[in-house]
Structure 1
Amino acid sequence: MEEKLELLTTESRNEHSMQIDTAKPMDILRIMNEQDQLVALAVNEVLPEVEAAVKFVFESFKNGGRLIYLGAGTSGRLGVLDAVECPPTFSTDPEMVQGLMAGGEGAFIKAVEGAEDDPELGVNDLKALDLTKHDTVIGIAASGRTPYVIGALSYARSIGAKTVALSCNKNAAISKEADQGIEVIVGPEVLTGSTRLKSGTAHKMILNMISTSSMILLGKAYDNLMIDVHVSNQKLKERAIGIIRKITGVSYEMALETLEKADLQVKTAIVMIKTNTTKQEAEQLLAEANGYVKTAIQNVEK
């Protein structure tokens, strides 16, 4: 924790943007775009580490556990953002994927000064969630040295929860506190130290990968279609009807009628149509197949 900030990659000056303060608007955009193109390549380098995190999360979900993201500032906000998108996309319980921020929920809008510097706050936030050994905790910190994250990861490991540390610096302090470190090296930022840029982009990509992959493994996709989308408004209802039609080939009217009979549960509607069963029968088939639609249909076709 005593290392000098300027020695970190995330705090280094980018030689390609030294004159950005006097550049024309299009030149600024080109510099940023060229640097952003390096982010996906950096993420590609850490895919094995990301895979390990996905396996942790999937095992947690199978055992009734949760995925908990936590961080400070941009890192914390990215965790919250990924977490809150899971219920509408995958019809998950809001408790299943959660995001914690140093300073509490209010810090999402307005920074809480000093909150990230207290490791005990991270511990207390996890205790407030009644963290168990079945959960997976992913600590996010571009610098890799945030005390709030270090304290939380250390506590999570002490009770047997799986832990992942996501940072943008080699040999990050938070990696030492986790079962799996993911150190995605995107290089210096266009604006020195502004880790909401390349670092934030890399972290968003990785968090999207972790949550989406885990949900797909749970059976929440059919081919590349979102079959567990939460139908909470007209737009999503139309999307659900489209998904049902793509999979079953039925008319718009038939898809709509079945979706409504299935209480707006897309999975159930698909199984009803594909197996010519009632809502109750389709739900039983899905239960026997652990929620995997293709398996439920194949079990009838055998």
Structure 2
Amino acid sequence: MTNLETRGHLLTEQANASSENLDRLTSLELVDLFNREDARTLLAIAHARESLAQAIDLTTQALKKGGRLFYVGAGTSGRLGVLDAAECPPTFCSPPELVQGIIAGGAGALIRSSEELEDRVTDGEKAIAHRQITELDIVLGITAGGTTPYVHGALQAAKSRGAKTIFMACVPREQVTFDADVDIRLLVGPEILAGSTRLKAGTVTKMALNIISTSVMVRLGKVYGNRMVDVAVTNNKLRDRAMRILIDLTGMTRQQAAELLERSNKSVKLALLMYWTDLDAEGGIQLLDECQGQLRDAVLKHQKSSSL
């Protein structure tokens, strides 16, 4: 781990030659500069494609075995982890405990700066103990500069409990090393505003977390084609989305879709299976359970059994 007093050499702390005259640019020049620099986030994701794929595979395997995914971070990194975790239940109808965000300082740090708390290694260790992390779980530590003691403490504690670990940073391995099961480096270069990692580093981190969590949910059967068939129907917008999914995939009328959605207890996945197989809700639930929630597999299994 890099000495906390000598961080100036880190990629995330260096000055960006492209923004030396930042305080003298016009508004349009500022927008153009941000646009050029933000393009680096796409290249960073492309260069990290293999490690991102490894993270998806490792996390999918763990969750299929009953494990949980924890994001751990401080400041911006912690907030991004909490945000991604919070979006999983409404998007994929996943239980809140399946993907969780841990941030230094707790819930209060989401709206009030508490970056000083990131220097406490023991707080990271305590957070892991509090969540009762086990060998079934995955802990993904997010630290733009790679040195955050809170994250290092959490990851080391997770490893000691047998959990799999993923390290995500925006500095190269030669600047900061960490022995994790998967090591993701998102190299976007120095920030326009030197050291302000809520900019490119924050953007590329959000992109990477989107890729990991969405891909894992796809692999867990939460998606059919490119439709979120496990969407939680909790408000009018999501009910309308559920109805449109049913109409688009089956060709039924809106009234028919509404009736089927009610008979399936507002489960789009179950409604589709009932429509395609003529099973009742109880039979559909049983078949989905047999196929580990995979709608496509359930349909194919029913077709095969019907043809015998």
When normalised by structure 1's length, the TM-score is 0.98
Question: What secondary structure is seen at the aligned counterpart in 1 of 2:95?
Answer: coil
| Aligned-pair identity (%) | 43
Q: CA deviation at 1:101?
A: 0.5
Q: CA deviation at 1:177?
A: 3.8
Whether the 8 Å CA contact 2:75–2:115 is kept in 1: the answer is no
Partner residue in 1 for 2:282: 280
Partner residue in 1 for 2:63: 61
Which of 127, 136, 139 does residue 138 from structure 2 map onto?
136
Q: Provide the alpha-carbon RMSD of the alignment.
A: 1.2
Partner residue in 2 for 1:252: 254
Partner residue in 1 for 2:265: 263
Alpha carbons of structure 1 residues 281 and 226: separation in structure 2 relative to 1, 3 Å: same
- Aligned partners of 1:155, 1:128: CA distance in 2, in Å? 11
Whether the 8 Å CA contact 2:62–2:136 is kept in 1: the answer is yes
- Aligned partners of 1:284, 1:247: CA distance in 2, in Å? 22
Which of 231, 234, 237 does residue 232 from structure 1 map onto?
234
Q: CA deviation at 1:289?
A: 1.2
Partner residue in 1 for 2:303: 301
Q: CA deviation at 1:139?
A: 0.3
AA paired with 1:123?
A: E
Question: What secondary structure is seen at the aligned counterpart in 2 of 1:226?
Answer: coil
Question: What secondary structure is seen at the aligned counterpart in 2 of 1:5?
Answer: coil
Unaligned residue ranges in structure 1 (runs of 5+) = none
Whether the 8 Å CA contact 1:39–1:201 is kept in 2: the answer is yes
Partner residue in 2 for 1:24: 26
Whether the 8 Å CA contact 1:70–1:76 is kept in 2: the answer is yes
Partner residue in 2 for 1:168: 170
Deviations 1:242-283 (A, max 9, x none): 111122221111111000111101111000101112111111
Question: What secondary structure is seen at the aligned counterpart in 1 of 2:187?
Answer: coil
- Aligned partners of 1:235, 1:113: CA distance in 2, in Å? 36
Whether the 8 Å CA contact 1:144–1:172 is kept in 2: the answer is no
Question: What secondary structure is seen at the aligned counterpart in 2 of 1:225?
Answer: coil
Question: What secondary structure is seen at the aligned counterpart in 2 of 1:271?
Answer: helix
- Between 1:2-11 and 1:144-153, the stretch displaced more is 2-11
Question: What secondary structure is seen at the aligned counterpart in 2 of 1:188?
Answer: coil
- Aligned partners of 2:270, 2:235: CA distance in 1, in Å? 18
Higher relative contact order (CA 8 A, sep 6+): 2
- Aligned partners of 2:24, 2:63: CA distance in 1, in Å? 51
Equivalences for 1:105-144 in 2 at 5 Å? Answer: 105-144=107-146
Partner residue in 2 for 1:192: 194
Partner residue in 1 for 2:3: 2
Unaligned residue ranges in structure 2 (runs of 5+) = none
- Aligned partners of 2:185, 2:143: CA distance in 1, in Å? 10
Q: CA deviation at 1:175?
A: 4.4
**Superposition misfits of 4+ residues, deviation over 3 angstroms:** 172-175
Deviations 1:120-162 (A, max 9, x none): 1001011111101000000000000000000111111111100
Question: What secondary structure is seen at the aligned counterpart in 2 of 1:139?
Answer: strand
1:182 aligns with 2:184: yes
Which of 204, 212, 215 does residue 214 from structure 2 map onto?
212
Question: What secondary structure is seen at the aligned counterpart in 2 of 1:221?
Answer: coil
Q: CA deviation at 1:114?
A: 2.4
Whether the 8 Å CA contact 2:74–2:115 is kept in 1: the answer is no
- Aligned partners of 1:298, 1:249: CA distance in 2, in Å? 20
Whether the 8 Å CA contact 1:175–1:181 is kept in 2: the answer is no
AA paired with 2:131?
A: L
